[in-house]
Chains A and B, each alone.
Chain A
Amino acid sequence: MAQMLDDDPRIIEFDVRTDEMLVNMGPQHPSTHGVLRLVLRTDGEVVSEVEPHIGYLHRCAEKIGENLTHRQWIPYTDRMDYLAAMNMNLGWALAVEKLMKYQVSEKARHLRVLIVELNRIASHLVGMGAYGLDLGTFSPFLYAFREREKILDLFEEACGARLTYSYITVGGLTADLPSGWLVKCEAFLEQFEPIIQEYHALLTTNAIFVKRTANIGVMSPELAIEYGCSGPVLRGSGVDQDMRRDGEAIYTAMYDSYAFEVAVMKDGHYPRDHVYPAVPADAVLGDCWHRFFVRMLEVVQSMDLVRQAIDRYSACKGPLGEPLKLTEKMPAGDAYLETECPKGQMGFYLVSDGSAIPWRVRARSSSFSNLAVAHELCRGCLIADVPAIVGSLDIVMGEIDR
């Protein structure tokens, strides 16, 4: 490690070096997104090394999964990425369905897309607002939460819960939408769309925001791939990969007939970039600004997908279908499936010995891989950049510690 540090050209050499100081950022710290502890080795304001310490939320959900049936474990997936619980539900449900070679009804498929994309908007709103908070501006956080609250209201009406839904389950969904829900959802999208410009004005194009994020924590595509980063963190580095398009058939089939463009910079352009603020001159592909911007684009993208899903769902005449029984036996074998969650690719691996209770459950968390790269990005930055970089990775500790 010491050898690597010496060789790294990003370490800023000063004529005057002072004593190094070890500082604990966290586990109780306002900007570590939960109970993350970062040990910073600092020389004045310059951070020479960052070491994340995780595990404060560890409850070994994988072990719990070995004692519950596949459907009983759904609530535990809620608590991994609690900001995007629907996406987590879907990831696990699809992994089990992949093993059981089960196909949900078309109506359920469209409803899943609708719910999951709506949750993606909610998750990105929190990511965006909290990122503003990391940079010291409080108002966008509340603006984001105001809109997220409306999404939570919609979810509450659909499934009764506001945070841990367990709505999408193995073999379908626990219930159909109540009547009038789609109208409310459309009304929400209608009023939400212009508000995105407000976020762009407060953050994306704000001169101070750009100064704080552009060219900070630049991650090369090679580094991102080598660390297994995924989601907006990977796409922010310019890697064109989205599991909704590139994933396995059982997952991509959900998005068949949906039109969407992966939010990634290609040839210096983002999709439909004439509508959105221009990339600032200081920004370098792979820096904090691009990671943030990809998230903002995905909000719009998800809105499109929700609208499409509403149309397709309303066109479906058949029944929604009942989810599988709690104790439905799974065939012996194993299956691994990655889905595109707001934070990145969430993989569920499931080994079955033929009973309803899995032999082994594995959750490959996207935030885990995304956070693992933090020490590479933070080397040689200033203390104020540490929250900016860690915030741009948009991690959720529930998912990392599981």
Chain B
Amino acid sequence: MTMRGPGFLDQLDAAVPGAVVGRNLEAIDPWIDVAPERIADVCAWLAKSSPVRFDSLQCITAIDWFEIDPKKAAKVAWQPHTEMVYHLWSTAARVSLVLKTKLPRWKSDVPGELPEIPSVCGVWRGANWHEREVYDLSGIWFTGHPDLRRILCPEDWEGYPLRKDYEMPLDYHGIRGR
């Protein structure tokens, strides 16, 4: 049971103008493409004001679209980027909604500078740990997050393991890496 029908999208467009930049309603899980800087506004509307309250955030995923192999990289159709996917759920209506948004792999394409996206912690408190996990493993900086620290990796860990170009450190405090 996924959200279908353009009427809902029009309402969203009217409530948060210019936030929806694309959609795919024919996919297995239909999704809405949202401008990254508006994601918190969109989520706030969906959670608090929309006719179907998406009161629960199930999952935040960052997908690193980057091909390390230069030969394969020449063939792919996309440009390197990071895609954020938000899976929302409405407990009352029992429907799910998928939001996607595109971020650069590095902020202003400077390697090491994390891309930024507004935090949705203010909308769902449960987003706290999910965002920390995405920051930890994929290296996305959530602006406005109250406590953005690594959660699964040790605090002094270097690099973001779920990025495609991540390399396992050969040594961590004397522990052999490979």
A248 x B59 contact (CB < 8 A):
no
Distance from A372 Cβ to chain B, minimum over Cβ atoms (Å):
4
Task: Give the residue of B29, B61, B125, B166 whose beta carbon is less than 8 angstroms from that of A335.
Answer: B29
- Closest residue of chain B to A400 (Cβ to Cβ) is B152
Produce 1/0 per residue, A321-360, CB < 8 A to B: 0000000000001111010000001010101000000011
B162 x A369 contact (CB < 8 A):
no
Task: Give the residue of A338, A360, A376 whose beta carbon is less than 8 angstroms from that of B58.
Answer: A338
- Closest residue of chain A to B123 (Cβ to Cβ) is A226
A241 x B152 contact (CB < 8 A):
no
Stretch binding the partner chain, chosen from A58-66, A102-110, A175-183, A204-212 = A58-66
Distance from A165 Cβ to chain B, minimum over Cβ atoms (Å):
25
Distance from A187 Cβ to chain B, minimum over Cβ atoms (Å):
38
For residue B41, which residues in chain A have a CB less than 8 angstroms away from its CB?
A: none
A334 x B129 contact (CB < 8 A):
no
- Closest residue of chain A to B134 (Cβ to Cβ) is A362
For residue B63, which residues in chain A have a CB less than 8 angstroms away from its CB?
A: 351, 359-360
For residue B87, which residues in chain A have a CB less than 8 angstroms away from its CB?
A: 336, 347, 349, 364
B3 close to chain A: CB less than 8 A: no
B28 x A362 contact (CB < 8 A):
no
- Closest residue of chain A to B124 (Cβ to Cβ) is A226
Distance from B24 Cβ to chain A, minimum over Cβ atoms (Å):
10
B147 close to chain A: CB less than 8 A: yes
B29 x A336 contact (CB < 8 A):
yes
B16 close to chain A: CB less than 8 A: no
A58 x B129 contact (CB < 8 A):
no
Residues A360 and B61 in contact in the complex (CB < 8 Å), given A60-B137, A99-B28, A225-B56? yes
Task: Give the residue of A99, A227, A351, A360 whose beta carbon is less than 8 angstroms from that of B126.
Answer: A227
B1-60 with Cβ < 8 A to chain A: 1-2, 27-29, 55-59
How far is B91's CA from A239's CA once the two chains are assembled, in angstroms?
A: 8
B151 close to chain A: CB less than 8 A: yes
B114 close to chain A: CB less than 8 A: no
A98 close to chain B: CB less than 8 A: yes
For residue B28, which residues in chain A have a CB less than 8 angstroms away from its CB?
A: 98-99, 101, 333-335
Produce 1/0 per residue, B55-95, CB < 8 A to A: 11111010110000000000000000000010101010010
How far is B121's CA from A372's CA once the two chains are assembled, in angstroms?
A: 13
How far is B35's CA from A128's CA once the two chains are assembled, in angstroms?
A: 46
- Closest residue of chain B to A53 (Cβ to Cβ) is B151
A1 close to chain B: CB less than 8 A: yes
A78 close to chain B: CB less than 8 A: no
A333 x B27 contact (CB < 8 A):
yes
Task: Give the residue of B64, B85, B126, B137 whose beta carbon is less than 8 angstroms from that of A349.
Answer: B85
A203-238 with Cβ < 8 A to chain B: 222, 225-229
Task: Give the residue of A54, A60, A359 whose beta carbon is less than 8 angstroms from that of B151.
Answer: A54
B94 x A246 contact (CB < 8 A):
yes
A345 x B58 contact (CB < 8 A):
yes
Task: Give the residue of A62, A359, A368 whose beta carbon is less than 8 angstroms from that of B137.
Answer: A62
Residues A336 and B98 in contact in the complex (CB < 8 Å), given A54-B152, A362-B59? yes
Distance from B130 Cβ to chain A, minimum over Cβ atoms (Å):
8
A334 x B91 contact (CB < 8 A):
no
For residue A351, which residues in chain B have a CB less than 8 angstroms away from its CB?
A: 63
B161 close to chain A: CB less than 8 A: yes
A360 x B64 contact (CB < 8 A):
yes
How far is B151's CA from A55's CA once the two chains are assembled, in angstroms?
A: 7
How far is B96's CA from A338's CA once the two chains are assembled, in angstroms?
A: 10
Distance from B31 Cβ to chain A, minimum over Cβ atoms (Å):
8
For residue A347, which residues in chain B have a CB less than 8 angstroms away from its CB?
A: 58-59, 87
For residue A239, which residues in chain B have a CB less than 8 angstroms away from its CB?
A: 91
Residues A225 and B161 in contact in the complex (CB < 8 Å), given A1-B147, A55-B151, A241-B91? no
26 residue pairs from A and B, CB less than 8 Å apart: A1-B147, A55-B151, A58-B152, A60-B152, A63-B162, A63-B166, A226-B124, A227-B124, A241-B91, A248-B2, A333-B27, A333-B28, A334-B85, A335-B28, A336-B98, A347-B58, A349-B85, A349-B87, A359-B63, A364-B58, A364-B59, A364-B87, A368-B129, A372-B128, A401-B152, A402-B152
Given contacts A226-B56, A336-B87, 14 further A-B contacts (CB under 8 A): A55-B150, A60-B137, A222-B55, A227-B124, A228-B56, A241-B94, A248-B96, A333-B27, A335-B28, A336-B29, A347-B87, A349-B87, A351-B63, A368-B133
Give A contacts to B, CB under 8 Å.
1, 54-55, 58, 60, 62-63, 98-99, 101, 222, 225-229, 239, 241, 246, 248-249, 333-336, 338, 345, 347, 349, 351, 359-360, 362, 364, 368-369, 372-373, 376, 401-402
Give B contacts to A, CB under 8 Å.
1-2, 27-29, 55-59, 61, 63-64, 85, 87, 89, 91, 94, 96, 98, 124-126, 128-130, 133, 137, 146-147, 150-154, 161-162, 166
Shortest 6 CB-CB contacts between residues of A and residues of B:
A227-B126, A364-B59, A55-B152, A228-B126, A58-B152, A372-B129
